[in-house]
Structures are given as structure tokens and as C-alpha cells.
Chains A and B, each alone.
Chain A
Amino acid sequence: MTNKQEGWERWAAILAVTPSVLAIAVFVYGFIGWTVFVSFTKWVTARPDYTFVGLANYQRILLGGGIDSQRFYIDIRNLIGFTVLFLICNIVLGFGLALLVDSRLRGEHFFQSVYLMPYAVSAIVTGVVWRWLFTPGTQQLGATGVNKLFESIGLGFIHPRWWTDPTVWYIHPDTMLGGFLNDLHLGFFTTANWGLPVATFSILIATTWLLSGNVMVLYLAGIRAIPTELREAAIVDGATQWQVVRHIYIPILTPVTLTVVFILLNVAIRLYDLTVAMTGKGPGFSTDTLAFNMFETTFRSGRFAHGAVLAVVMLIFVSAIVIPYLRYNLRLEETDR
């Protein structure tokens, strides 16, 4: 083969990926740049206004103290509370279900399919169903949804108000921990500004229903890749089932856990469809998210520059986890070769 031909073919290869690379360059990177630019402008009506205003929009939303920044910090509060519970629930449940499916049950394929099935359902459908499941009913007319189910199996004393409950749980300043935080001049943490809205639990259960099967599949793939000799050797040496899980599975599965945490964080930050269909922003913004806020601010109120600030904040959060993850994964791949 001649050199000339080689060169021609190399150009053919570059030409073949050019449409995609250009599309990504414009529609991802160009658009991100454009959004960042919008966040520095005066564009707060339907008509675009690219007058540069510096950091004014960021100041309004991050430091302003007005309704916009109040809502922003409520979103951050909701994000933190949701994320912590979401990670714990999905990792524990996903890993637990993976161990269960891996324990050579008869019909393991059936169980695996059932646990993964919600993943095939859209977040909108999930939101519609769970909104009705978590509609608590009234004292006068009786319970509905899961509360009704509790009632019929004799657990009627459990009747949470689910997503209709605007209560926020927080560390009360009168408690010992609250007093301690106050002494440390951290009184800020003993207000409803930092806490867990009760309505979060409804969103949490619905998202966990939707995604825990996904987590299970990832763990299951990891567990199946562990050589059986390793396990058998440990059992022969007298290790209990629990010790095998604790000292062999969990350490070996660290890369899977990293992937899972990465995916779940990404979902938590982008949370949108499900809350739209289920609760919207919820009573007292109790289920509001950055994404929901961004959509309303931008496309309902037409305050594009303010929406752009929220979008940029979301992008920064996501980048903070995606960039290290991609670097870690792509480097891992290099060492594979």
C-alpha cells in the first residue's frame, strides 16, 4: 500500500466523523458558551436583550436575598436532603437486590426482570402513578392510595400526608444539637433553611422504584465478574456468607460503586420529569428542584438571563462529578491495553 493511499484514507476517516464532531462542538460546547453569555446579559423578557450586565444576575440569585435567591437556596436544601437519602436507598437496595438475585434462587431471571422493569417506564408515567398512590385522602372521606393499603392490612395508624405535607424537618434550636450549633455561631443550620421537607420522601420512593433496578444490574454484573474460586476459597477457610460480602465483594466492587454514585448524583442534580408529573414545585417549594426552577424562570416567566444562571449552576455541579469520572474511566482504559 502506498503512502499516498494511507494519507487519503486517514482523511476519509476524519471526514466521516466531521458531521458528528461539528454537531457536538456547536450543540454542546457552542451552546454552553451561549448560555453562559446569556447569564451575563439583561435578557429578562421574551425579546432577547444581550446588553452585558456582568455578574448582576448571579448576584441576584446567589446573594440577592429576594424571592429568587430564597427559591434557589430552597432548591439547594432540597437537593442536599434528597441526594443523601437517594444515594443511601439506591445503593443499599440495589446491592441488596443484586445479592438476592445472585443467591441462586429458582426463578432468578423473573425476579431480576421484575426489579429492573420500572426502568423501562418513563419518569412521567412514574410520576402520574405515584402521585395517586401518595394521595393521602382525608379524615372525613377516608384514606386513599397506599394509606388505604396500610389501613386494610391493619396499619391504619401510618397515614403520612406524603407530598401534600409542606413540613420541613430540621434541627430545632432548642435541642441539644441545635444549642451546640448555635454556640458555634452556626445558628443558620437550626432553621428550616437547612432541613428535609417531608414531601421529599414521596419523590424519593418513586425515584428509587424507577432506578434501583438499574443499580442492581450494575452490581450484579460486578458480582458475576468476581471469580467463584475467590469466594469458595474464603468459604473453605471458614468465612461466613456475610464476611465474604463484607471483605471480598464490597472492596472488589468499589469501581461499580463509583459508577453508581456517579449516575445517581447525575440523576439527583438533573431531577425534573418526575417532579413535573408528580408534584411540580410542591407546597411551599418542598419538592422544587433547580431544573424545575430553571424551566419556570426561563420558559414560563421569560426571564432568560436568570434561567441561564440556574442552568450554569447545574452545569457546574454536574461537571464537578463528570470530569473526574471521565478522567478516571478513560485513564483506566489506557492501563487496560
Chain B
Amino acid sequence: MSMTLRTTSIDSASHVTRNNRGINWGRLLLYMIAVIFAAAYLLPIFLLVLTGLKSQGEVSLYDMWALPRNLSLQSFVDAWKGSPIAAGLGPNFINSFLVVVPATLISSLMGAINGYVFSKWKFRGADLIFALMLFGMFIPYQSILIPLVRTLNFMGLYGSLTGLVFVHIVYGLPFCTLIFRNYYASLPDEMIEAAKIDGAHFFNIFTHIMLPLSGPAFVLTMIGQFSNIWNDFLFAVVVTNSPASQPITVALNNLAGSFSVEWNVQFAGALIAALPTLLVFIFLGRFFARGLVAGSIKG
């Protein structure tokens, strides 16, 4: 017994010394691991920037990791404006914005209304309908693509950006509804009861009480939808049929698949395509993480 006690006290004593004077090797090791992983995770982005900044003459696969001698933005210009060999990504970048902005706003707003009903105005069967709706978030979209193309054709929306906006609204509804439902469920019911006593109705309560409080949920759905839609490839490649209406992911994939386009131009294009979501991440990263947790832990 006394032995154990003594070892414990020696342990804690040595711990104190280590903290005060010497190097704490355990901590140092942790830092080293953290730094090595950080370097590995940053490597691809580093390579994108590095290559993008090289001048045409310096670009060689065999000197991929060499630092640029003369800084040049030519690859970005080529990727954006196009060159004699390949069309530029500029118009596609704008297409992506034209799809992302309306789709994000409308699906978030519809999600807010749905979430309001599914949390505060539950009718009979509301929970079941909500569960059935959530299922739509997880299906492999391959299982609806064939009918989707037929239907969009029939509606005259196939191949248009409007069609793509419509698709992203519909398939974004489950996610937005989930976020708002869980958020509204955390607000006290008494608030609504009090408003009802004061004579407020269904829509008044939504617009005057719920919406002003909805900031945190809107941030999550907007960031989530923005990055989902910006990064989407499957719907984009199936629904759009001409280079003029393609979002940037599809155009980038075409650029990268073309053997005649230099890989440094591909890299510059990739960086352009990644920039909007990367910027959102850099400035709103903590909401990014929060949205991930909110969107996945609780069904």
C-alpha cells in the first residue's frame, strides 16, 4: 500500500518538474503528430496554389513540388477565360451562383415553414410524414434519375438552370426541414401558447415570433445548402446538357478530362471551383462544424 502511494507521489512530483523546467516529451509528441497531420491535410491545397502561381514555362510534372521562380497568374487567366484549346470556366462559375443562390434561399425558407409545422403544429401522422421525408435525404439519387430526366423534359425544364434550381430545392427540403424542426423543437411551446392567447394566428406566429428567432437555423441551412449545391456533380451532369448551362463542377470535370489541357490550368480551375466554399469555410467554419453535427446526429 505504501509502495503504491509513494509511486503516485513520485509520479505527480516528476510531472510538476517536467512542466516547470524540462521539456514535456509527451506533449511535444502530440504537437508533432498534430503538425504532421496538418501538413498532410494541407498538402493538396498547397499544391493547387503552388502550381497555379507558376508561369507556363516552369510547369513540369517532374518538378511538381519546386517553388515558382517567377510568379504568374496566367494559369488562372487561362482557366477562367479559356484558351484556344478549351473554353474557360468563368461562365460556369456564374452559372453555379445562379443555381446556388435561389435554391439555397427557397429551400431554407420552405424548410423553415415545414420545421415550424412539424415541431409546433403536429397534426395526426405528422411524425410519420416527417420520417418519410427524411428518408429522401439519404436515398441514392441514382434511384430517381431516370424519371427525373423524363419529368423535367415534360416540364420543359430539362437542360436549364431553372430545372437545376428546382431539383436542388426539392431534394434539399429534407435537410432544411430537419434542421428547422430540431431548432424549433428546442424553443419553448409556452411562447406559442402565449401568442395564441394574445390572438396571434398560425402565420402571424411564424412571421412575428419564429422567423425573428431563426437566425441560427438559417445559418446552418444556408451554409449546408450552399456547399452541397455548389459542390454537387451528379444532378448537374444529368440535368444540364450543354456547356453553356453547366455549373462549375461539370465544366471542371470536362476540363480535367481533356488531354490537351495542361494540368496547371486544371489546377487553377480546381482552385477557382473550390474558392467559394473554402471562403465560406474560412470565415464561417464553426457553423460548418455545427451544421455537420446538427444534420447527422439526430434524425
Check if A256 is an interface residue, CB within 8 A of chain B: yes
A: interface residue count bin: 35 or more
- Would you call B278 and A269 a contact (CB within 8 A)? no
Name the interface residues of B259-297: CB closer than 8 Å to any CB of A.
Answer: 263, 266-267, 269-270, 273-274, 277-278, 280-282, 285, 288-289, 292-293, 296-297
**CB closest chain-B residue, reference A326:** B299
- Would you call A24 and B173 a contact (CB within 8 A)? yes
Stretch at the interface among B97-105, B156-164, B196-204, B212-220: B196-204
When the two chains form the complex, which single residue of A1, A24, A124 contacts B136, counting CB atoms closer than 8 Å? Answer: A24
Contacts of A273 in B (CB 8 A): 233-234, 249
Interface string of B132-160 (1 = CB under 8 A from A): 11111011111111111011000000000
Contacts of A86 in B (CB 8 A): none
Question: What separation, in Å, do the CA atoms of A332 and B277 have in the docked complex?
Answer: 34
Check if B245 is an interface residue, CB within 8 A of chain A: no
When the two chains form the complex, which single residue of B37, B196, B201, B253 contacts A97, counting CB atoms closer than 8 Å? Answer: B37
- Would you call A28 and B274 a contact (CB within 8 A)? no
When the two chains form the complex, which single residue of B65, B238, B273 contacts A149, counting CB atoms closer than 8 Å? Answer: B65
Nearest CB on B from A113, distance (A): 5
Nearest CB on B from A208, distance (A): 10
Contacts of B108 in A (CB 8 A): none
Nearest CB on A from B212, distance (A): 18
Contacts of B131 in A (CB 8 A): 326, 330
**CB closest chain-B residue, reference A238:** B8
Interface string of A110-123 (1 = CB under 8 A from B): 11111111111111
Nearest CB on A from B46, distance (A): 10
- Would you call B138 and A322 a contact (CB within 8 A)? yes
In addition to A20-B173, A152-B65, 17 A-B residue pairs with Cβ atoms within 8 Å of each other are: A24-B170, A29-B132, A35-B146, A38-B147, A124-B231, A124-B233, A125-B270, A127-B256, A128-B253, A137-B62, A145-B64, A148-B65, A272-B233, A276-B233, A295-B238, A312-B143, A322-B135
B residues apposed to A, CB below 8 Å: 8, 30-31, 33-34, 37-38, 41-45, 47-48, 61-62, 64-65, 110, 113-114, 116-118, 121, 123, 127, 129, 131-136, 138-148, 150-151, 170-171, 173-174, 177, 196-197, 201-203, 227, 230-234, 238, 249, 252-253, 256, 263, 266-267, 269-270, 273-274, 277-278, 280-282, 285, 288-289, 292-293, 296-299
A residues apposed to B, CB below 8 Å: 1, 9-10, 12-14, 16-17, 19-21, 23-24, 27-32, 34-35, 38, 48, 97, 100-101, 103, 105, 110-133, 135, 137, 141-145, 148-149, 152, 209, 213-214, 217-218, 221, 238, 255-256, 259, 263, 266, 269-270, 272-273, 276-277, 290-291, 294-295, 298-299, 304, 307-308, 310-312, 314-315, 318, 322-323, 325-326, 328-330, 332-333
